[in-house]
Structure 1
């Protein structure tokens, strides 16, 4: 089991094209983990908005979520940027529990920013 939640944002040609979230924050026991609740609320809300507004593709399993944009548009870019900023704020408060990365979609091994 991972010791933190890792959220990776994927970009292509300067646009967000998706994100994934994997792991558990392990800030507290299940049902009392406020960090996990905050991350879950943010990513699930954004995923729902992207699916309904921007026709994104969505996958979810225990401790895993992935959203891929079929056609990035202005709404999806605003939603993704705001999600990134909100998670960055959480990461600054809980650096042992959350890790953010931004990677090029063409080469998912290249970190653009963390």
Structure 2
């Protein structure tokens, strides 16, 4: 199962997210849940890096299905707003996948 942990500050701001595990919906290379979650998360990170001046922290392990992103607290307000909007879009997309495939992906929120 893919575990997605999203950390929100009391203000609601997303400060980090972690995605870990494998969906095991289908064999490697044919796993739609894994492909969808990967496309959404990496698409979001690519959008942040391409469309904003934010320098976010990214850790990844290809073999383990692990991805972590940290959003610095000291981003200028306008840039942080763009980053947050993109991250909220990611959350909505992942929740859409979770609604259909809850046996294979789980999203948890932490503060």
TM-score by length of 1: 0.83
| Deviant stretches of 4+, over 3 Å | none
Higher relative contact order (CA 8 A, sep 6+): 2
Number of residues paired by the alignment?
101
Check if 1:39 corresponds to 2:41: no
> Which residue in 1 is equivalent to 2:60?
60
- 1:17-76 CA-to-partner distances (Å, cap 9, x unmatched) read 111100000000001111110000001111223344221110110310000001351011
Root-mean-square deviation over aligned CA pairs:
1.2
**Which protein has the bigger strand share?**
1
- Three-state SS of the structure 2 residue aligned to 1:47 is helix
- 2:96 equivalent among 83, 89, 99: 89
TM-score by length of 2: 0.85
Consecutive unaligned residues in structure 2, runs of 5 or more: none
**Aligned partners of 2:82 and 2:107: how far apart in 1?**
22
* Preserved CA contact (<8 Å) 1:18 1:66: yes
